[in-house]
Amino acid sequence: IPRVLSLDAHGHILNWMHWQDAVCLYVRGAVSWTLGEPCMTVHGGRNRLTGEQSVVELHPIVAARGHANFRSHLPSPALTNPALFARDKQLCLYCGKEYSKHILTRDHVHPISQGGRDTWENVVSSCFRCNSRKGGRTPQQANMPLLAIPYRPSWVEHLILSNRNILADQMAFLKQHLPKHPRGETFVTRKITYTIARIIAGDVDRIELGNLDAKRDWGFSGDYVDAIWRIVQHKEADDFVVATGQ
């Protein structure tokens, strides 16, 4: 059963809504406007006097009356295991194998025992075996390099990743709200995360890496390995620029 994309009256994206909650909005007259063709018809009870049965047609995108406060326009996705596993495509970011959500665990790149924090930028999906092997060490200390750098998804990316049954009208609306020029789009990590969201949205069908016109893409692999090693020594996640200084 598809979920309804809920907005406030000004069109700000809020969250996915179960169809039962959407029906309540319709019945209470709390729907401001809708988008898309009806995606579900809900039949209710019958009027005792007329025998007429109540019918509610749900639309894929529903804007409720009123508006959200400023802070909730683009909320930060809650860090939960299902959301984390969806971000990492249900892959262990140490061995690279795909696992079911029942096998995956949450691993802190910089261990909490060493001052690490439970944040998007410091957690990755890991299979039980790799998590146990790494223990309370950093990837460098355990000689277990990460396959990707953890990141905090945008709210729209989070909505796309968290719903595998998105209707066409909903996807078209969400695609319009993906970052047009995300910060650091030309950097590999951001390019991968942004393109994954576009692949799920059906905008593109592959990831293309390597800009031959950008000199900053070229470099000696040993220098990058050394730079990454220096980066993972930091206790807090941050933005870094790798350069020769020449």
- Residue-level pLDDT at 183: 45
Condensed to tens digits (0 to 9), the pLDDT of residues 6-37 reads 999 888 899 999 999 999 999 999 999 999 99
**26 or 222: which leads in pLDDT:** 26
Reading the block at residue 229, the tokens are 């090693």
Give the pLDDT band (50/70/90) at residue 105: very high
Cβ atoms of 86 and 162 closer than 8 Å:
yes
Taking 90 as the threshold, does the pLDDT of residue 154 lie above it?
no
Using CB atoms within 10 Å of the CB of residue 153, give its burial: 0 to 12 exposed, 13 to 18 middle, 19+ buried.
buried
Taking the alpha carbons of 207, 209, 213, 217 in that order, is the dihedral positive or negative? positive
- At a CB cut-off of 8 Å and minimum separation 6, what does 74 contact? 154, 155
Q: Residue 34's beta-bridge partner residues?
A: 62
pLDDT mean across residues, the chain: 82
HEC profile of the chain: CCCEEEECCCCCEEEEECHHHHHHHHHCCCEEEEECCCCEEEEEEECCCCCCEEEEEECCEEEECCCCCHHHCCCCCCCCHHHHHHHCCCECCCCCCECCCCCEEEEECCCHHHCCCCCHHHEEEEEHHHHHHHCCCCHHHHCCCCCCCCCCCCHHHHHHHHCCCCCHHHHHHHHHCCCCCCCCCCCHHHHHHHHHHHHHCCCCCCCCCCCCCCHHHCCCHHHHHHHHHHHCCCCCCCCCCCCCCC
Task: Give this prediction's pTM.
Answer: 0.59
